[in-house]
Amino acid sequence: GDSVTQMEGPVTLSEEAFLTINCTYTATGYPSLFWYVQYPGEGLQLLLKATKADDKGSNKGFEATYRKETTSFHLEKGSVQVSDSAVYFCALSDRDSGGYQKVTFGTGTKLQVIP
């Protein structure tokens, strides 16, 4: 079955540091890939997405590139801010055996940015 593996957290960075959160996946089909962000006490929000190989999704200074050859979708940001402190979830969307869309989430990576 499909699966998503994220790097373990928590990740603690100083403000303005470079961020990378690794995400790799396995899928039977040709999935779409997503990053969601969850701020404390809130639900998940779609951060960015990519739907085919070599696509780059970007939003709010974050970006991730769909790498089919390495089955990866790493999240990066050049300069993090305290307001980026949140839990980040990598996810993929694929069709299951019944033809229905199925989304598989990673376990989440907590990011803490300190001033």
Q: How far is the CB of 38 from another protein (least distance, A)?
A: 8
Name the burial class of residue 98, with classes exposed (0-12), middle (13-18) and buried (19+) by CB atoms within 10 angstroms of its CB: exposed
C-beta of residue 73 within 8 angstroms of C-beta of residue 6: no
Task: Candidates 32, 64, 80, 111: give the one binding another protein (CB under 8 A).
Answer: 32
Residue 15 vs 42, nearer CB to another protein: 42
Measured distance CA(64)–CA(95) in Å, rounded: 22
Residue numbers 60-99 binding another protein by CB under 8 A: 89, 93-95
- With binding defined as CB under 8 A, does residue 45 bind another protein? yes
Size of the site for another protein (CB under 8 A): 23
Residue 26 vs 45, nearer CB to another protein: 45
Length of the chain (residues):
115
CA angle in degrees (0–180, nearest 5) for 20-24-30: 130
Radius of gyration of the chain (CA): 14
Residues in contact with another protein by the rule CB under 8 A: 31-32, 34, 36, 41-46, 49, 51, 89, 93-95, 100-101, 103, 105-108
